[in-house]
Amino acid sequence: MAQTKSIFDQMSEMILSRQKYITDKLGELDGKKFLMDEWKREDGSGGGITACIEDGNVIERGACNVSIVHGKLSEAGFKQMKQNHEGMEWTGEPIPYKVCGLSMIMHPHNPMAPTVHLNYRYFETNKANGEPMSWWFGGGYFVS
């Protein structure tokens, strides 16, 4: 029987595919390709892909970035998050977390065309056995 992918894994795959779609389509529209820079944290706790475009035909400057990282939440960080997430329980040890997100900002050359800014993310804290303790989606967008 096939195992269902976790919400974190599904969200990570989705934001990577959306980044590719966005940069491919905007690159076609602009006539200039995005510069892609894959990066990894030195301590092995994740990484991401930075995608930038500058001085294009339509886009003056823009970026569409993905980060997929993990770490341990300190007691101070836990106390701040606990205020909005009742399902979290302090175990006396730093709490594992995973977060993934897509962020984008695009500034067109045309002053009459709007700037677009967005950020979508998923944050998950985990129990010692790896099961999710608490999770939430966040983000938003605006056009100005």
Residue 117 annotated as catalytic = yes
Q: Residue 27 has what pLDDT?
A: 98
Q: Residue 85 has what pLDDT?
A: 79
Q: Residue 13 has what pLDDT?
A: 98
pTM above 0.85, yes or no: yes
Q: Hey, where are the domains in the chain?
A: 39-143
Which of 70, 85, 107, 117 is catalytic? The answer is 117
Architecture of the domain whose range is 39-143: 3-Layer(aba) Sandwich (3.40)
* Average pLDDT, 10 consecutive residues per value, the chain (144 residues): 85 98 98 98 97 98 98 89 80 92 98 97 92 93 94
Q: What does the DSSP assignment read for 81-144?
A: HHTT-TT----SSPEEEEEEEEEEEEEES-TTSPPEEEEEEEEEEE-TTS-EEEEEEEEEEEE-
